DNA sequence: CGCTCCGTTGAAGAGAATCAATGAGCGTGG
DNA sequence: CCACGCTCATTGATTCTCTTCAACGGAGCG
């Protein structure tokens, strides 16, 4: 494992440890009063993760939790024979891992090179248990995640391939397309398929259909331009 | 609304209000020290709900939360054109509703006649905010629900019809079949289909196949006897 | 230049949905 | 107690969507 993992050369109580943190104002730490930040900092460690590396395995003991500082990670569940479903994506400032539980229900794998602020679950649990503001923030985030997961259950259980792809594009556009001038997909076709519960071929065909219908353009492998947003939204909802 | 809803004739601080509650030891209230139970009791109301009645509507403002005292309720998400996906089921002692959020993401509808202990969201939020033990319990429950939802995403996105039905039967047997002598399904075929992201016909056909394969018996509409549990579990996992 | 990875496209097939009819319980009322 | 009607479940025939299998294409890179 050591060969895949690199620790930054600071850890714990550093002069500019959290102050300089890229997600200081957006991660759960933001809820803590200044005085409580120091003890949390002392149990946290920065770690870099290479794309493709898995931080937590489905079904294994829950030993780690973390804040995402930079990069993207996927949360996945798999069947015994290798079928995979992405059940969540963690971006910068998101919290990952399973506090207050014996085992992790899903794997966590880096989609891009990433950096996280890591805690052992035991230490984090103990800290959180004594800091209600932190638990409150965690509760709010977990409730939001649960809402998102349940919305996705509707997509996976009841929506057609076209609706699924359109829904994903609308979500991505909302997240990434500030200027309305198109955006870069942060993931490839296979991962789109793993999110949507489809095959890579079906995703590709649906994108092609939308392109031929003039709803979107695909100027590159990862590039998407939405030409007709209302049409895309209509596709996402009804059919 | 009044014609569908009946309030019990006590509410608030009653002599035996919470002490006699059927879920006193299992609901979130169980975490509260005796002294804190009284103020919570004072903002709670018992309500009876008829089967089929909807307590909360998807997308509407989140005004109510509740503990389930008795009965079963379904949490659902729907598409514009009426396709429905059950995203969760609440049993006695479960907590329902969306605290700390503007809107409810899903509808809550009684599957059986039910009784709940109801709070306005505003009052509950304020109470919870000042009772960390309660928020901690709520966090643990929400994390468990999130794990469950994500496991279900694998089922909905990647499992075959046979695997889905077998998975549901295993879950139900674990929950209901103490003696190994069979159990009564708490829901009909349509709701099984709505949970599994299938049609009623497909659920029926899969059950028939399992019956003909000798894995289960179906002595009545709602009755199930598992003859070959290992086979059923194998069906639930691989294919 | 050729290799590899990833995405696209095509043809064929499987699995589930849909459409349609039949059948079995169950409650109601005669 | 039985007949009726209603709801829910089963079964069959067909259609259709998505998957599977297979080949090709194109961009990036050594």
Q: What is the average pLDDT value for chain B, to the nearest integer? A: 91
Other C-beta atoms within 10 Å of B238: how many? 13
pLDDT at B18: 84
A116 close to A68: Cβ distance less than 8 angstroms: yes
DSSP code at position B181: S
What is the CA A144 to chain-centroid distance, rounded?
Answer: 13
Q: Cβ B151–A105 below 8 Å, yes or no?
A: yes
Q: What is the average pLDDT value for chain A, to the nearest integer? A: 91
Pick the more confident residue, B202 or B12.
B202
A81 close to A92: Cβ distance less than 8 angstroms: no
- DSSP string covering B188-208, please? -HHHHHHHHTS-HHHHHHHHH
Instruction: Indicate if the pLDDT at residue A166 is higher than 90.
Output: yes
Count of CB contacts below 8 A, A vs B? 129
Render pLDDT for A38-53 as a digit per residue (tens, 0 to 9): 899 999 999 999 999 9
pLDDT at B20: 87
What is the CA A226 to chain-centroid distance, rounded?
Answer: 23
Residue located via tokens 């056909």: B205
Instruction: Indicate if the pLDDT at residue B238 is higher than 80.
Output: no
Question: How far apart are alpha carbons A53 and A65 in whole angstroms?
Answer: 16
Question: How far apart are alpha carbons A78 and B57 in whole angstroms?
Answer: 33
**Quick one: pLDDT band at residue A177, thresholds 50, 70, 90?**
confident
Q: Which nucleotide, over all strands, has the C1' atom closest to the CA of A197? A: D18
Q: Is the pTM of this model over 0.95?
A: no
* Region B139-151 average pLDDT: 98
Q: Which of B209, B121, B125 is nearest to B165 (CA)?
A: B209
SS3 assignment for A122-169:
HHHHHHHHCCHHHHHHHHHHHHHHHHHHHHHHHHHHHCCHHHHHHHHH
Instruction: Indicate if the pLDDT at residue A175 is higher than 60.
Output: yes
Residue located via tokens 């403002």: B61
Render pLDDT for B47-90 as a digit per residue (tens, 0 to 9): 999 999 999 999 999 999 999 999 999 999 999 999 999 999 99
Q: Cβ B145–A146 below 8 Å, yes or no?
A: yes
Other C-beta atoms within 10 Å of B151: how many? 17
Phi then psi dihedrals of residue A203, to 5 deg: -60, -50
pLDDT at B15: 45
**Quick one: pLDDT band at residue B35, thresholds 50, 70, 90?**
confident
Q: Which nucleotide, over all strands, has the C1' atom closest to the CA of B218? A: D9
pLDDT at B6: 44
Angle between helices B189-196 and B200-212 in degrees, nearest 10: 100
* Region B199-228 average pLDDT: 96
pLDDT at A135: 97
Strand-pairing partners, residue A183, are A224
Q: What is the dihedral of CA B178, B180, B181, B186, to 10 degrees?
A: 50
Strand-pairing partners, residue B108, are B56, B75
Angle between helices B132-158 and B121-129 in degrees, nearest 10: 120
Q: Which of A59-63, B8-12, B41-45 has the lowest mean pLDDT?
A: B8-12
Distance B201 CA to C19 C1' (A): 12
* Region B192-212 average pLDDT: 98
Distance B221 CA to C24 C1' (A): 9
Measured between beta carbons, the chain A residues lying within 8 angstroms of B126 are none
């Amino acid at each position: 494992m050591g060969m895949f993992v690199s620790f930054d050369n600071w850890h714990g109580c550093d002069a500019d440890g959290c102050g300089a943190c890229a997600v200081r104002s957006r991660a759960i730490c933001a809820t803590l009063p200044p005085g409580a930040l120091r003890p949390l900092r002392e149990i946290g460690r920065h770690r870099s993760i290479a794309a493709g590396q898995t931080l937590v395995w489905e079904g294994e003991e829950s030993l780690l939790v973390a804040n995402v500082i930079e990069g993207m990670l996927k949360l996945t569940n798999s069947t015994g024979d290798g079928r995979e479903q992405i059940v969540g994506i963690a971006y910068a400032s998101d919290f990952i891992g399973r506090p207050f539980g014996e085992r992790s229900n899903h794997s966590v794998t880096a989609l891009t090179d990433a950096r996280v602020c890591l805690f052992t679950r035991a230490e984090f649990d103990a800290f959180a248990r004594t800091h209600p503001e932190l638990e409150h923030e965690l509760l709010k985030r977990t409730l939001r995640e649960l809402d998102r997961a349940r919305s996705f259950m509707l997509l996976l259980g009841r929506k057609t391939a076209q609706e699924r792809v359109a829904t994903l594009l609308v979500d991505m556009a909302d997240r990434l397309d500030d200027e309305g001038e198109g955006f870069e997909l942060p993931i490839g076709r296979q991962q789109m398929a793993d999110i949507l519960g489809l095959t890579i071929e079906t995703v590709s065909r649906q994108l092609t259909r939308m392109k031929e219908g003039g709803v979107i353009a695909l100027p590159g492998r990862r590039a998407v331009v939405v030409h007709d947003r209302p049409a895309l939204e209509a596709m996402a909802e009804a059919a």
